[in-house]
Structure 1
Amino acid sequence: MTAAHSPTPAGAARDVLVIGGGPTGLAAATLLGQHGLRVTLVERHHDVYPLPRAVHLDDEVYRILHQLGIGEEFAAHTRPTSGLRLVDGGHRELATFTRERTTTTGLPQANMFDQPALERLLRANLARFPAVQVLGGHELLHLDTGGAHPVTARVQRPDGTAIDLHASCAVACDGANSTVRRQLALGIDDLGFAQRWLVADVRCTLELDTWDGVYQVCDTRRAGTYMRIGPDRYRWEFQLLDGESATDFAGVPALRRLIAPWVRAIPDERLSVLRCAEYTFRARVARRWRAGPVFLAGDAAHVTPPFIGQGMGAGLRDAHNLAWKVAAVLRGQADPVLLDSYEAERKPHATAMIRRARAMGQVMTGGGRIATLARRRIVPALAHSRTVRRTLLDSRTPALAPGPRIRRSTPRAVRGMLLPLVRLPGPDGQLLLVDRILGDRSTIVALPGVDLAAVPGALPPAWLTVDPDGGEGERRLARWLREAGVGWVRVDPDRVISAAGPAGVLG
């Protein structure tokens, strides 16, 4: 990764220092840059890490990509998937859960992609923000919060020399083995999941004759996952047995022992292995996400098993939640107590998603012969359960917990939830995602007739009134407000509802 701008001289203070240039760090730097903050991003690699890792994001995270400014470009690099199919060890179908491949907003609920392609989009997008500086080939040596500056980072440059970088605060996005988390003794809690898996990315020049969705192989001996990533890209993940390692499956002939059910008719010369590596899937959450002016985000704060495809997305949610709060506090527009809401909101949410992923992993791999027999009887029945189908297919994630930002008095139906994503007419009449219209400020979204004069000073001055008889998007928002029993909601820059009230009373 080359520097996007000229390096800041040693000793010159910045607003925010971002450690780590993966998707979370790039998203954080972008969102902070959108608020006009002076940001330095430090990344030890010079360029995008070339091997695929994350491959899935949902429509909520896709929504964040639009706010980052790359939503339209990303559409050319992704493909929607049809849903989830559970099969047993003999590849007999247990249940199939289908998704809508398109939604009214145009953002599919499940999207497959290549992580290096996404990172290249994010890095190119950073060039739009002259106050964001990218230092590639730089590695953090030490982070200090007790000196003359709120944050001082000792960083090793590509030539081996070291410099000190100063900032008002820092966001540590430096991965599961976070140097910052270790140095600041923030700790990490194990949620009781550790499994060794093989992850294989394969290019195939022939079309595979398979259902166009994700397969989960529920087998206590050899659980597995299959998914199509792109026109000629496929991923398989298999639980490794004791004594096995990735080297046992290096090359197409060896790997074929595992992927044969999908590629029986495909000759070896039509297959090429892009990556075949061993990973230990874990479930962990940092004990503390903040040390004074330093915040953890992404894998530095939480590690999730991949079974529901929320690992990378959780990091982007962190960045989305934190960046606008940091900007508001550094600009003097919000009380510093707002920053306490980051961990209070994101830690329970991330933990809930990790537990959901762990439960899916246990469904796939738990128990012995009796559990396998039970799966064959129970899973097909569960497929007809409305509750189970909603849990597996509804991409909406849990509401954020009330606290320093989200008022406890807010009706539960909307409290901590995301504003529904709809398309509304823009200034020229063109339909735009509502987020484009709201911008980067807090806004009141209200039904007609709400008394604007009664708005207390604590609520934002920006308003969006929705017409119940207007276009489809306005009608959907009006119906959502009425069904929740409220006349107005406060929508913060991360699109979370932090306050609400009835049509006739504000406050």
Structure 2
Amino acid sequence: MHTFCDRAPCSNRLFVSVRQDITSGGGRRVMDPVIVAGAGPVGLALALALARQDVPVVVLDEGPGSDAPRAARTVVLREDTAAFVERLAGVPLGRAGLRWTGWRAMRRKQTTCEVAFGEDLPAPLHIAQHVLTGALRAALTREPLAELAVDSRLDALEQEDTGVVVHTRGPRGTWWRGSYLVGCDGPRSTVRKLQDIRFPGRTAVERHAVAAVRTELPWTDEAFLHRMPPWRTTGPFAGEIAARPLPDGVWRLDWLLPPGKDLVTPELLVTRIRETLSGWTGESSPAYELLDTGVHTVHHRLARRWRAGRVFLAGDAAHLLGTLGTQGLDEGLRDAENLAWKLASVWHHGPHETLLDSYQTERRAIVSARLRAADQVLPALRGGGGLRSLLPGAARGHDALLMDGHLGLGPVGAPGSYADSPLMPPRLDAEVPVDTPVGAPVADVMVTAEDGSFVRLRERLGRGALLVVLVAPGTGVWERRHWVSAGVMPRLAAAVTALPHRAELLVAENYPGAAPHTVLLVRPDGHLVTALGGVRPADLYSAAEATVGGTERTGARAGAGAR
């Protein structure tokens, strides 16, 4: 890969481009990089995921290349997205953040719900956003196929039949040429505006006063939600407090604010901190260190389109959500993981419209469903309306619904499924049920890789390959050389070699709900395609072909995706 300047045909513009020669279909072609606009967590994660799949990438960062520390700006990552980020960063984030031991809900003086995290319910990771961004940025600087252009704000965009052309202003203001462009440039996305994509939704769905404090509370490493606390409140506060621990005795505290634009002054917030800590500790003057404060406003918005030809949107540029304890960044990272393997596939093998279109179809449907679920329960939880009138047949209380958002459960918070994706194969004769529904994220079981090493299944994701997992009890106690040529393995290995897309064969001692000799087909982003009862080469091939969008490659019609 090399960086060079080039003058475009029919133009006097001077371009900066990063190109790589690749061999495809018996011929050699020169490919421009993927351009990512925005160097937040989503943009950096997408760029890293592409580079790890041998796709050159340029990240346009309108900032100086670093983030100011903000202790009160934190994110909560679910198990799968935390694992995704850790794979990309190449370092465990547990020391930089904190995985909670439990979660509880309280109403007035009573504890209404307690949850202990463990194998059945893995703990989320709570981490300061600048720490997360710094880890991803450091990993990106080590990637030979990645370039980070700081002080480069995108302000113009053109699409061509074979690529995109963008202009950046700043000290390095110039024209850049790429194969595709992904706008990860936040709620006020310039990419979205230049493509004239509408961004409808609701403004100020919730507002929270936020503070990061270092103090001692009765609950160690345990997050909790306190509704209607018994002590008197001062100022415009609505009687709901979320407390989330961080390392080194730091807590992020969020107070729900009532609707409206009441001003939260520093004096009011300090008074509220003292009242809250006194109520929890029973001390009249609890010791604490105030590290950071702010007001967090939650909006609900969803872009009409997430793809316009060679231009895509991801993260806050495509959607805004975050009420009831849900995490918008969690969804943005899932956008990046979903899009990365699809862009990598078309970059290496040629444009494929079905595969590219599936990004919008899959991800937009999941975020839309989550927004609908939140909008459905918000009147009951915030406005005092009748819960059963909004959720017919529901018997769960308000606290249980709030728990879903905070813990990543139910329609408000659970990871989405791609069961209705256009990439899902039709029902196969050999398909058998397992505990993971088709289209949902797979369980992170131990597997034996082709080199004989024992690894977690998620460690094999993000390489652009399909994963074929054979469930074979007993193989874990034998060296691979003893069973690799026995039983069904030779036939399965031959079937995997014949698949229409690169695939890796793995072996698991067990998988939840799977009988011996079950064969699982897993997408590069970790979602289950199908589970087959035994080695069925024809069914496995059919499922794999559907997963990568079928056989059609559109060649010169690369720009035909514009809507």
TM-score range, shorter chain: 0.7 to 0.9
Name the aligned partner's letter for residue 515 of structure 2: R
Cα shift at 1:207: 1.7
Q: Find the counterpart in structure 2 of residue 124 from structure 1.
A: 138
Q: How does 1:230-379 map to 2 (within 5 A)?
A: 230-241=247-258, 242=260, 244-247=262-265, 249=267, 252-253=270-271, 255-257=273-275, 260-262=278-280, 265=283, 267=285, 270-275=288-293, 277-332=294-349, 335-358=352-375, 362=379, 364-367=381-384, 379=397
CA separation of 1:498 and 1:382: change in aligned 2, threshold 3 A = closer
Cα shift at 1:312: 0.9
CA separation of 1:437 and 1:398: change in aligned 2, threshold 3 A = closer
Q: Find the counterpart in structure 2 of residue 37 from structure 1.
A: 55
CA separation of 1:392 and 1:400: change in aligned 2, threshold 3 A = closer
1:351-405 Cα offsets, whole Å, 9 max, x none, are 233345556655642317999xxxxx9639969x99x999469985231143332
Aligned with residue 103 of structure 1, among 119, 127, 144: 119
Cα shift at 1:263: 5.7
Unaligned runs of 5+ in 2: 7-13, 18-31, 229-236, 389-394, 473-487, 540-563
Q: Find the counterpart in structure 2 of residue 64 from structure 1.
A: 84
What SS class does the counterpart of residue 346 from structure 1 fall into? helix
Paired residues of 1:99 and 1:393 also in contact (CA < 8 A): no
In the alignment, the residues of structure 1 paired with residue 503 and residue 37 of structure 2 have an alpha-carbon distance, to the nearest angstrom, of 34
Cα shift at 1:35: 1.5
Q: Find the counterpart in structure 1 of residue 182 from structure 2.
A: 171
Aligned residue pairs, count: 474
Q: Find the counterpart in structure 2 of residue 482 from structure 1.
A: 515
Cα shift at 1:169: 0.5
Q: Find the counterpart in structure 2 of residue 434 from structure 1.
A: 457
CA separation of 1:396 and 1:429: change in aligned 2, threshold 3 A = farther
In the alignment, the residues of structure 1 paired with residue 397 and residue 410 of structure 2 have an alpha-carbon distance, to the nearest angstrom, of 13
What SS class does the counterpart of residue 28 from structure 1 fall into? helix
Larger radius of gyration: 2
Cα shift at 1:437: 4.3
Unaligned runs of 5+ in 1: 372-376, 467-473
Paired residues of 1:196 and 1:278 also in contact (CA < 8 A): no
Name the aligned partner's letter for residue 335 of structure 1: H
1:425-484 Cα offsets, whole Å, 9 max, x none, are 567876422233464411222346374356695544534253xxxxxxx2332x54339x
Q: Find the counterpart in structure 1 of residue 391 from structure 2.
A: none
RMSD: 3.7
Q: Normalised by the size of structure 1, how large is the TM-score?
A: 0.81
Paired residues of 1:216 and 1:226 also in contact (CA < 8 A): yes
Paired residues of 1:447 and 1:487 also in contact (CA < 8 A): yes
Cα shift at 1:131: 1.6
Name the aligned partner's letter for residue 77 of structure 2: L
Q: Find the counterpart in structure 1 of residue 15 from structure 2.
A: 11
In the alignment, the residues of structure 1 paired with residue 525 and residue 290 of structure 2 have an alpha-carbon distance, to the nearest angstrom, of 41
Q: Find the counterpart in structure 2 of residue 79 from structure 1.
A: 98
Q: How does 1:388-399 map to 2 (within 5 A)?
A: 391=409, 397-399=415-417
Paired residues of 2:345 and 2:464 also in contact (CA < 8 A): no
In terms of mean alpha carbon deviation, does 318-327 or 256-265 score higher?
256-265
CA separation of 1:463 and 1:432: change in aligned 2, threshold 3 A = closer
Cα shift at 1:232: 2.3
Q: Normalised by the size of structure 2, how large is the TM-score?
A: 0.74
Paired residues of 1:195 and 1:239 also in contact (CA < 8 A): no
CA separation of 1:379 and 1:284: change in aligned 2, threshold 3 A = same
Cα shift at 1:113: 1.2
CA separation of 1:341 and 1:447: change in aligned 2, threshold 3 A = same
